[in-house]
Amino acid sequence: MAFGIEAEKEVIMKANKKDVLTGSYYIDGDVAAAYGAIAAGCKFVGGYPITPSTEAFEAFVHRAPYVGGITIQMEDELGSIASILGAVWSGKKAMTITSGPGFSLMMENIGLGAMLETPFVLLNVQRSGPSTGLPTQAGQADMMQSRWGANGDYEIIAISPDSPQEMFDYTIKAFNLSEKYRCPVMIMADECVGHMTEKVVVPEADKINIEPRRFYKGPKEKYLPFKPDKDLVPPMAKAGDGYKLHISGLTHDEKGYPTFSQTPDTKRLVDKIRLNADKIIELNEDEIDDADVVVVSYGITSRVAIRGIEQARAKGLKVGNLRLVTVWPFPEKRIAELSKKVKAFVVPEINYGQIVYEVERCAHGNANVVLVPHGGGFVHNPEDIFKAIKYAAQEKKKVEGIIEHKTELYRLIHEKNS
Amino acid sequence: MKIHPLFSTFANAVKKAEIESDKICLVSDFLYQPKISEYLGFDLFHVTRGRSIPFATGMKLGNPKLKVVVFVGDLITLGGNHFMHASRRNMDIVVICVNNFLYPKINGKKSPTIKSAFSPYSVFERPVNIPHVARSSRAVYVARWTALHKKELTESMTRALGKSGFSVIEVISPGNCYFAGIPASPKENELIEFYHKNSEIKNDEDTKNVEITAEKKIIVGKFFEKKRPTYIDSYNERHSKVIGDKFKIYE
Amino acid sequence: MKANSKGVLTGTHNLSGNEAIIEGAFAAGCRFLGVYPISPSLEATDRFLQRSGEVDATFVQMEDEISALAAVLGASWTGKKSMSVTSGSGLSNMMEHIGLGIMLQTPCVIVNVQRTGPSLGIPNGVAQGDTMQARWGSHGDYETIVLTPNSPQECFDLTIKAFNFSERFRVPVLLLTDAYIAQKKTLVKIPPTKDLKLISRKLFKGAKNKYLPYKNDKNLVPPMVNVGDGYRFHVTGLTHDERGYPVMTSECQEACVRPLMEKITKYQDEIIEYEEVETDDADVVVISYGATSTVVSKAISLAKKDGIKVGSFRLITIWPFPEKRVRKLAQKIDAFVIPEINFGQIAFEIERCAAGNCNVFFVPILGGGLPTPEDICKSIIKASKEKKKIEKLIEL
Amino acid sequence: MAKKKIEPHPMENILRMDRIPHIWCPACGIGTAVTSFASALEKLKVNLDEVCVVSGIGCTGRVAGYTKVDSFHTTHGRAIAYATGVKLGNPKMKVIVFSGDGDIIAIGGNHFMHAARRNIDITVICVNNFIYAMTGGQVAPTTPLTAYATTSPFGNIEPPYNIPRLAEACGAVYVARWTALHVRRLTNSIVEAIQKPGFSVVEVISPCAQYYSRINRLGDGLDMMRFYHDNAVIKHNEPTENLDIDYQKQIIMGKFIDREKPTYIERYNEWLSESKPKKK
C-alpha cells in the first residue's frame, strides 16, 4: 500500500506571498533565476563563484535573509553540491549555481543526488569549453554532459530557457519537477541568457503553482525510503523526524540497505523519467504542420534561429520551428513523428554537435539532419541558419549521417588557411 | 549483531548528553553497517567519499535543530579541504574521525595518517597531525583517544555533543572490518591493544606536539576547548544588526 | 620506436586484467602513475608499486582523483608517459581534468575499471555504465579515444595501443574495463621487446625561439616539448592561439577547438578497431563489448542451434564510434541485439546509426554480475522473430 | 624621422614582453609580486630553463602567462596538484606555484594541505587580496570579518584563514608573509623560499583597488599602500597563531617558519633503495 502523494493529489499549493516580489523588473537572466528560486520556495543555496553564473548567487544572497533563507559560499563546487544535498534531506528546497568547470566538478555528487533520489535544482549558465575555455562567453556544449556526465545509469531533467522571463518561470518549474519526480533538475542556461537584461514580470503569489514535497504520511515504522508510489517515485521523509533513515549512495533496496547486485527496482531511476517523459516534456512549436524543414533549437540559439527562419519564410520556404524547452528527457516521439512528414531537420547549436545526435537518432533515417555548429564565444549568425535551411529544403537526396553546414566562421578560419 | 564498541560508546554519550535520538543525524562516507540506524535509532546518511562534511553542513543549515555527527575514516585525504573550511566557519557539527591506520574497505592501502610500520608503501609519506590541523583551523573542541579509552571517549563525546561548534574527536582504532561489526582478526585485536598500551594521556597538551610518529608514544587526551560563535550564530547576529527588524532569526 | 627492455616482462604469465594493464603500460614506456585508490582498480596500483623499483617508475598517491589526474598531466609535460587508474565515481571526479588534458593536448592514459553505478553503486559489481560518460563527461566540445578490452591479454595489448594513440594524437585516452575483466586471471603472452611497436610524442626540434606550442602540423597535432628543455613556453586551459596565449574571441575558439576534434575524426579509420564474426550472411547481429562479449559467443552458438543466422560484432574502440561499419551492417540485416550491463547507452548510438534500416533491440542487464548465455539467446530469438520494422529502441 | 632606439626592458628575459600590457588593474599588487619574483630569479642566478611556474584561475592565476619560463595556466585550485606532477616527473625543475588566495586556500585547500604534508619541494607564492577579484568581488576564505563583498552584502561572517598558521600546521618548512609594499624583503623571502628544499609558502598581501577597497570604501591603491605602511609590523618568528588579520587592523609580517624536513622525493628514494630486492 502506498502512502503519501495519492491522498493529497488534489491539493494545489501556491507560492508564499513573502517569497514573491510581484511586479515588473528590468533584470538579467541570472538574477531572474534567483528570484524564481525564491518564489518557488527555495531556502538554501550552496554556491561557489564562477563566471558567468555568479550574479544568480549574489542575487540570492541579497534576498535570502529577508525570506528566511540561508546561503553559504562553500570552498569548492564539490562542497557546494554536497551541501545542498544535505539541506534537501533536512527538509529545505535547495539549489546550486555553477558553470563550465564547476559543473564538471559536480559530476560525482550529481550521481549521488540521482541515486538518493534527492530533489534539487542546478543552474548551469553554460560558457564555452572545454576546460577554462572562454569564461565570459556563451556556449551550449554541456548538454550531453548534463545527461551522461556521472558514472552509472541515471536520468535527469534538463530545461533550457531562452530569456530572463523564462529564467524566472522555468526555475519555478524546475523546482516543481524536481519535487514531483525526486530527481536532479538542471537549468541549462547559457551566458547570453544569463547576462541578458530584459523585462521580467513577476506574477502574484497566487498565480504561481508550487509542487509540495511528497512527504510520507503513513506510520513511521512502516516507512521504506525507496518504496515507490504508482508513478515510480517514492515519498520522502526528512532527517530528524524519527524515521531512522538509512540513506546510502551504494546500490540499495527499498529499505535503503546496500545490496550486492542490482535489482529490477534499480532501473526505476531511469524508468521514472523515461515512462513519465510525456508529462515532463514541453515544446514550443510554430508552423510545424505543413513544414518541409523544421529547425530544432534550444536556449539562446532558438531566439537567433527565429531570424534565420523569418528570412527563409520570406523566400517562400516552408519552415517550422521546434523549440526544445525541456531538452532531457528528449522528445523522441515528437521528432520521430515529424521525421516522417518533413524533408529535413536543421539543428543550430553552440557546440560542434550534441543534441543533433539525438535528433538524428530519433529521425530513424526518415529525414535529413543538418547541423549548424558554432564553436562558442558568440551566437550564430542568422545568415548561417538561413543558408542551412535553404540547403536542407533543396536537398532531394537522403543523406546518410549528419550533414554539417559550413558556417561563415568556418570558411573564414579554416578555408582561408588551407 | 555485534556492534563496534565505538557505537555503543557513542550511544552512551548520546544518552548522557540528553539529546533526543530523533534529532541525531549521522553522516558518513565509509559506514558499511546499515543496521546501525535501526539499532541506535539515528538517521544515517552514507554519501560519496570525502563529502560527508559538506553534506553535513547542508543538513545543519537546512535544519539547525538537528545534531549532525560526522563519522569519517579517510577524512584527511579527499575531504581535507571541507574539514578545514567547516572548522573555520565553525559549523555546528561533531566530527568523529576514526583514524584506523588503514583505508577502510580498500585492502589496507596507506592512509596519510599512517605510521610506517603498518603499511608497506607509506614509509615516505608524512602523517597529518589531525588535532593540530583542527586546532589551527579553529575547531572549538579537539580530543584524541584510542578505542579502548572507553570512559574518556564517552566523556569527550558527551562534551562534544553538548557543545555548539565544530568539535573534532580523533579515535584511533584499527581495521574497518572490525568497525563494521565483523569479528576482528587476532591481528586487529592485537593492534588495538597495542595502541592502547602505547598511548599516553596528556590533557591540554599543545597540539603541535601530538604528531604520531614511530619514535614516541601516541599522545591522547582532550587537547583544546574554546567557545566561539557558530556559523548560524554569526549569521543571525550580523544580519539582525545590519538589517534590523526585517530580518527573522534563522533557526 | 622500440620499447625499453627494462619494463617488458617477456614471456607468458598468469595475470589478471588489472595486472596486465600495468604490464602493458610498462611495456609501452609508462613511467608515472598518479592515483587515488578505489575498488576494483586496486590490483593495478599494487602491481605498479611492486614493479616501480625495477623499472624506475614514479608513483604518487594523491589526496583525491582530481589531484591524481592533475599530477598525471603535470608529469606528462615533463616527458614521462603517464597514467592514472580509477573506477566509477573516481572517473566522475576526474572530469574537469580530462577537459584540461584535452585543451592542453596532454598525452596520458586513464584506466577506468567500471563498477556498478550510479554514485557509489556496488564497489565490486560488474557494469558498463560509464561508456557515455567517457565520451561526454567533461564540459565543452571534445573528442576522445576509448578502448574496451575483453580479456587480460587484450588489456595488455590495448594499453600499449592506448599509449600509442595518446602520444600520437596528444589526447587523454580512456581504457574502459570492468570489474569482471579486471579480476579475471588468464595467461597473458608478453612479446619480446623488439616486437613491440611504440609511438612516442613528436618533439619539436627547431630553434628555441621559434617554438609555438599550438602550431599544428599537417596531422592537426602540434609537436610537443618537455618542461625544462629551455623552450619556456606557456600553455593555458583558456581558449588560446598558436602561442598558447589566451584570446577571447569566437574566431580563436573555432581555430582552437575544432582541430581538437578533427585530429581524431580525421583519422578515425586508423583508430577504430572491431571484431566481426559471421556477419556476412547474418540476419541478426549481436553488438557487444567488454565483459558482455565474453558471454555473447556462447549465446550465439545456442541461437544457431535454433537455426537463426547470427553474427557477432564486438566493439574494441567505442569512441570514436565505428559509425560507418554499423551503418553498412544495418542495411544488410534485420536486427541488432545489444546486451549491455547498463540501462541503455551504446544502444542509443546504434539506434542512431541504424537509421531506421533495421530493428534495434536492447537488452539491459542488471549490474553486479554477468548475464547468462541463455538470456541473451532468448533475446536473439525474440529479435529474429520480429519481422515488422519498429522505429524505436526496443527494450527486451 | 630617425627611429628611436627602444631600450630593452630590464626584465625582458623573465617576462613575456609580447603579452604586455597585462590584464591587472591599476594599483593592483600582483604586478609588484611578479616583479619581486622576477628580481628573485635574477638574484638566484638560476637557469631559467629549469624554472616552471604553475598557476590556477583568478587574477593571480594569470601570472603564468606573463613569466617567460615554462608556465602552466591550469584549472581552478589544482595548481599545486599539477605542480606535484611536474616536480615528481622531473625533480630537477624548480617549480613555483603562483596563485591567489581563493585558488590556493579555498578550492585548493586540500592540495595545499597534502603537498605540505608530503613536503613536495615546491614554492607557493600566494597573493592574498582578501577577495575573489576575477569573478567580481565575492567573499573569500581570507576576507576579514565584517568586511563587505558581493556575496557577503551584510558583512562577512566567516572568520578568515590565517595562511601562515595553516601552512605551519600542515607541515610547510618555510613560511613568510609580506605586503606588496615591502618589495625588497619580499624578494629576499622568495629567494630563500626557492632555495629551501621542501614546501615553502610566501604570502603576499596585496591591495585590490577595484573590488576589495571599492566595496569597502577603503580608497584607492595608494591609500591601501599607505595603510600597509602605517599598520604592517615586522615580527620575525612570531608564533603563527598570532597572525590573524582583522579588518583594517595591524598586519604582522616576517619570516615565521624555517625548518628542516626531508622532502617527498628524498623519502621516496630512501624507500626505493630499502625495498628493492637485495641481490644475493
* Segment holding B57, helix H or strand E: helix B52-62
Residue-level pLDDT at A197: 96
**Strands (E) located in B31-151:** 43-46, 67-72, 93-99, 141-146
3-state secondary structure of C38: coil
Residues C68 and C166 in one domain: yes
Last residue of a domain, one of C179, C195, C211: C195
| Cell numbers for C32 | 608515472
C179 with C36, same domain: the answer is yes
Last-in-domain residue among C173, C195, C217:
C195
* Residue C63 domain-assigned (yes or no): yes
Q: Based on the domain organization, do C36 and C146 belong to the same domain?
A: yes
Q: With a threshold of 0.80, does the pTM exceed it?
A: yes
Q: Is residue A359 part of a domain?
A: yes
CB pairs under 8 A between C and D: 140
Q: Are residues A299 and A385 in the same domain?
A: yes
The answer to the question of residue A309 being in a domain is: yes
Which of C49, C64, C123 is facing B50, going by the closest CB pair? C64
Q: In chain C, which stretches have pLDDT less than 70?
A: 1-2
pLDDT at residue B33 in the model: 62
Kindly report the average pLDDT of chain B as a whole number: 80
**Contact criterion met (CB < 8 Å) for B46 and A245:** no
Q: Is residue A254 situated within a structural domain? A: no
Position A345, amino acid: F
* SS3 state at D48: helix
Residue A63 domain flag: yes
Cβ–Cβ contact B50 with C under 8 A: yes
Task: Tell me: do A26 and A145 sit in the same domain.
Answer: yes
pLDDT of residue D10: 87
Q: Which of B44, B86, B30, B83 is nearest to B61 (CA)?
A: B86
Contact D209, D221 (CB under 8 A): yes
pLDDT one-digit tens code per residue, D79-138: 999 999 999 999 999 999 999 999 999 999 999 998 998 899 999 999 999 999 998 899
Task: Give the residue from A210, A244, A275 where a domain finishes.
Answer: A210
Domain boundary among C195, C220, C242: C195
Domains of chain B by start residue, with CATH: 5-246 (3.40.50.970)
Across the interface, whether the CB atoms of D85 and C34 are under 8 A apart is answered yes
Q: Which of D75, D136, D153 sits opposite A54 (nearest CB)?
A: D136
**How much is the pLDDT for A5?**
40
Q: Mark which of A194, A210, A226 sits at the end of a domain.
A: A210
Of A186, A210, A234, the residue at which a domain comes to its end is A210
Question: Strand, coil or helix: what is D55?
Answer: strand
Residue B115 confidence (pLDDT) = 37
Q: Encode pLDDT of D125-173 as tens digits.
A: 999 999 999 988 999 999 999 999 999 999 999 999 999 999 999 999 9
> Given this model, what pLDDT does residue C64 score?
87
Instruction: Determine the average pLDDT of the residues in B159-187.
Output: 70
| pLDDT at residue B197 tops 60 | yes
Confidence tier at B120 by pLDDT (50, 70, 90): very low
Is the Cβ pair D158, B123 closer than 8 Å? no
> Which one of D76, D139, D154 has the shortest CB-CB distance to A101?
D76
SS3 track for chain A: CCCCHHHHCCCCEECCHHHCCCEEEEEEHHHHHHHHHHHCCEEEEEECCCCCCHHHHHHHHHHHHHHCCEEEECCCHHHHHHHHHHHHHCCCEEEEEECHHHHHHCHHHHHHHHHCCCCEEEEEEEEECCCCEEEEEECCCCHHHHHHCCCCCCCCEEECCCCHHHHHHHHHHHHHHHHHHCCEEEEEEEHHHHHCEEEEEECCHHHCEECCCCECCCCHHHCCCCCCCCCCCCCECCCCCCCCCEEECECECCCCCECCCCCHHHHHHHHHHHCCHHHHCCEEEECCCCCCEEEEECCHHHHHHHHHHHHHHHCCCCEEEEEECEEECCCHHHHHHHHCCCCEEEEEECCCCCHHHHHHHHHCCCCEEEEEECCCCCCCCHHHHHHHHHHHHHCCCCCCCEEECCCHHHHHHHHHHC
Does D268 contact B124 at a Cβ distance shorter than 8 Å?
yes
Mean pLDDT of B35-56: 83
CATH code for the domain of A327: 3.40.50.920
Structural domain range at position C299: 276-395
| In-domain check, residue C223 | no
Q: Could you tell me which CATH number the domain at D24-275 has?
A: 3.40.50.970
Asked if residue B110 has pLDDT above 80, the reply is no
Nearest CA in chain D to C209: D68
DSSP 3-state of C70: helix
Coil, helix or strand for C310?
Answer: strand
Q: What is the domain-level CATH number for residue C33?
A: 3.40.50.970
Q: How many domains does chain A have?
A: 2
Q: Tell whether A198 and A292 lie within a shared domain.
A: no
| CATH number of the domain enclosing C387 | 3.40.50.920
Regarding whether C129 and C9 lie in a shared domain, the answer is yes
The domain that holds A133 is classified in CATH as 3.40.50.970
Tell me the average confidence (pLDDT) per consecutive run of 10 residues in chain A, 418 residues long: 42 85 95 96 94 93 92 92 95 94 94 94 94 93 94 95 96 96 95 95 94 91 90 92 88 88 88 94 94 96 96 95 96 95 96 96 95 94 96 92 93 78
What pLDDT does residue C298 have? 93
For residue B154, name the pLDDT band (cuts at 50, 70, 90): very high
| Closest residue by Cα to residue A340 from A402, A386, A288, A395 | A288
How many Å apart are CA D232 and CA A402, to the nearest integer? Answer: 65
Same domain? For A287 and A206 the reply is: no
Q: Does the pLDDT at position B191 exceed 80?
A: no
Is the residue at C233 inside a domain?
Answer: no
Domain count of the fold of chain C: 2
For residue A290, being part of any structural domain is answered with yes
Residue type, C215: K
Partner D contacted by C223 (CB < 8 A): no
pLDDT score of B113: 45
Is residue C298 included in any domain, yes or no? yes
Whether residue C219 lies inside any domain: the answer is no
Let me know the angle formed at the C-alpha of A195 by A190 and A196, rounded to the nearest 5 degrees.
100
Query: In angstroms, rounded to a whole number, what is the distance separating the alpha carbons of residues B230 and B25?
Result: 18
Q: Is residue A252 part of a domain?
A: no
Longest dimension (CA), chain D: 82
Same domain? C9 vs C149:
yes
**Tally of CB atoms within 10 A around D242:** 12
Sheet with C284-288, side-by-side order of all strands: C274-277, C310-315, C284-288, C335-340, C359-364, C393-395
Is residue C145 situated within a structural domain? yes
Q: Which pLDDT tens digit goes with each residue over D24-51?
A: 999 899 999 999 999 999 999 999 999 9
D228 grid coordinates: 600597509
CB spacing of A151 vs C133 below 8 angstroms: yes
Pick from C86, C98, C242: which is nearest to D75 by CA?
Answer: C98
- Using CA atoms of A127, A133, A137, A142 in order, give the dihedral in degrees to the nearest 10: -20
Instruction: Indicate yes or no: CB of B121 within 8 angstroms of CB of C36.
Output: no
Running DSSP on this structure, what letter comes out for residue D102? Answer: I
Residues of chain D with Cβ-Cβ distance to A54 below 8 Å are 135-136, 138, 150
Q: What is the pLDDT of residue A242?
A: 87
CB-side neighbour CA atoms (13 Å) of C132: 29
- Domain range for A316: 283-417
User: Is-cis flag, bond preceding C118, omega within 30?
Assistant: yes
Do residues D108 and D115 make contact, with C-beta atoms less than 8 angstroms apart? no
Bridge partners (DSSP) listed for residue D67? D15
The Cα of C274 is separated from the nearest Cα of chain D by a number of Å equal to 35
CB C108 within 8 A of CB C172: yes
Q: Would you call B45 an interface residue with chain D, using a CB distance cutoff of 8 Å?
A: no
In chain A, which among 376-405 make CB contacts under 8 A with chain B? none
Q: How many angstroms away from the CA of C33 is the closest CA of chain B?
A: 14
* A188's grid cell: 541549462
In a domain, A310, yes or no: yes
For chain A, how long is the longest CA-to-CA vector? 73
CB–CB of A87 and B58 under 8 A? yes
